């Protein structure tokens, strides 16, 4: 075996710094066990998705720091680290948890060119007309909150998602 690639995620609900340390340890142990192995670790940031038990969680505000930490630790061990852009993960969460109030933002973004800067420019221009970024991206939502997609029938009923969430202990 010459090459091995792993994929992971930072900022998962319930994750702590010890989990990140264990990821580093696992990868460095593999690298040491197989001399000459080219090891790559691709890593994204947790983005909540509708109709899942994690739909009530926001993006972990420590995720960006954790990606930087992983980069620093893995690079020094000769492990290639390929993180997904944290800023694009924030945009993914904005769209994933967005509601109809984001329509003007998406229209402006399209006009401005569909770049990260376009989102920032449009959000700044619409300040005061939309809930803040924290509401859509970072805030954990209450189980009783009406979700933007709740009127759509998903593969599992809401009660089942709540049950699965409670089973996780989070």
Residue-wise pLDDT for 1-43, tens only, equals 899 999 999 999 999 999 999 999 999 999 999 989 999 999 9
Residue ranges covered by each domain of the chain? 3-97+140-168
% of the chain exceeding 90 in pLDDT: 96
Fold of 3-97+140-168: Hypothetical Protein Ychn; Chain: A, (3.40.1260)
pLDDT in the model for residue 1: 84
| pTM of the model as a whole | 0.90
Q: By C-alpha distance, which of 90, 140, 162 is closest to 120?
A: 90
Residues 6 or more apart in contact with residue 101 via CB below 8 angstroms: 130, 131
Could you give the angle at which helices 63-75 and 86-97 cross, rounded to 10 degrees?
A: 150
CA dihedral sign of residues 147, 148, 150, 153: negative
pLDDT in the model for residue 95: 95
Terminal alpha carbon distance of the chain: 39
Q: How far apart are CA 50 and CA 96, in angstroms?
A: 7
**What is the tens place of the pLDDT at every residue in 93-135?**
999 999 999 999 999 999 999 899 999 999 999 999 999 999 9
């Amino acid at each position: 075996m010459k090459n091995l690639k792993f994929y992971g995620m930072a900022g998962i609900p319930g994750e702590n710094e010890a989990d990140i340390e264990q990821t580093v340890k696992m990868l460095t142990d593999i690298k040491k066990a197989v001399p000459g192995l080219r090891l790559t670790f691709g890593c994204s940031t947790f983005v909540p998705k509708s109709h899942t038990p994690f739909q009530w969680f926001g993006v972990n505000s420590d995720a960006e720091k954790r990606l930087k930490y992983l980069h620093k630790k893995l690079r020094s061990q000769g492990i290639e680290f390929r993180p997904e852009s944290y800023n694009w993960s924030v945009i993914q969460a904005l769209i994933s948890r967005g509601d109809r109030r984001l329509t003007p933002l998406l229209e402006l973004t399209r006009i401005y060119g569909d770049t990260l800067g376009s989102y920032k420019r449009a959000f700044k221009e619409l300040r005061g007309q939309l809930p803040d970024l924290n509401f859509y991206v970072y805030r954990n939502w209450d189980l009783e909150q009406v979700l933007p997609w709740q009127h759509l029938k998903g593969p599992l009923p809401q009660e089942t998602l709540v049950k699965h969430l409670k089973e996780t202990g989070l």
